[in-house]
A = this chain, B = another copy of it.
């Protein structure tokens, strides 16, 4: 019953779990996306309990996150109270969505906090002018860097073909040789 295809499926889903963790998501999110991605049919929550090996509660939470990131879609069927989930398969779209949501959010926080620190230095620097100047310098350098990074991200998001921003990128040799 546990044939080779199921083995392959397991292996693939495990890989997605790793990737999810690496990006700071729960591994169940990877498992749920994997199960949906490898299914020819849209899946229900109960399917996910079977196919992704998670509890129903967890499945419920993960599909919500995944939908928010636009990695899956919820399909409703008339005369059927179940929710059906199918995968987004355009990975570049997904990346853009994730960059635009999750990253941006944390990003703005960071930029904001650094800017605040710099302000605090400006408003405080009466006693030790040399130290204040040094701190302001360093903080400003980082703030400027974040500003540039933000600009870069925004440009990437604006590209309508993120797929091939540089010539020679889509030639598609396997691309796994050591750098």
Query: Which A residues are within 8 Å of any B CB, using their own CB?
Result: 3-5, 7-9, 11-12, 14-15, 18-19, 22, 24, 37-38, 40, 89, 91-92, 100, 104, 106, 108-118, 120-121, 123-125, 127-128, 131-132, 134-135, 138-139, 141-142, 144-148, 150-152, 154-155, 157, 163, 165-166, 169-170, 172-176, 179
Contact = CB atoms under 8 A, between A and B. Distances in A.
B127 A148 contact: no
Contact of A109 (B18, B111, B115, B170): B18
A4 B125 contact: yes
Contacts of A38: 135, 138-139
A132 B3 CA distance: 11
Nearest to A150: B175
A127 B179 contact: no
A13 B124 CA distance: 17
A172 B147 contact: yes
Given A15-B114, A176-B108, A152 B169 contact: yes
Contact of A172 (B18, B114, B144): B144
A169 B141 contact: no
Given A11-B113, A106-B22, A114-B12, A175 B163 contact: no
A108 B22 CA distance: 13
25 contacts: A3-B127, A4-B120, A4-B123, A4-B124, A5-B127, A5-B132, A8-B118, A8-B120, A8-B135, A9-B135, A11-B113, A11-B117, A12-B113, A12-B114, A12-B117, A15-B113, A22-B106, A37-B142, A40-B134, A146-B175, A148-B163, A150-B175, A152-B169, A154-B175, A155-B169
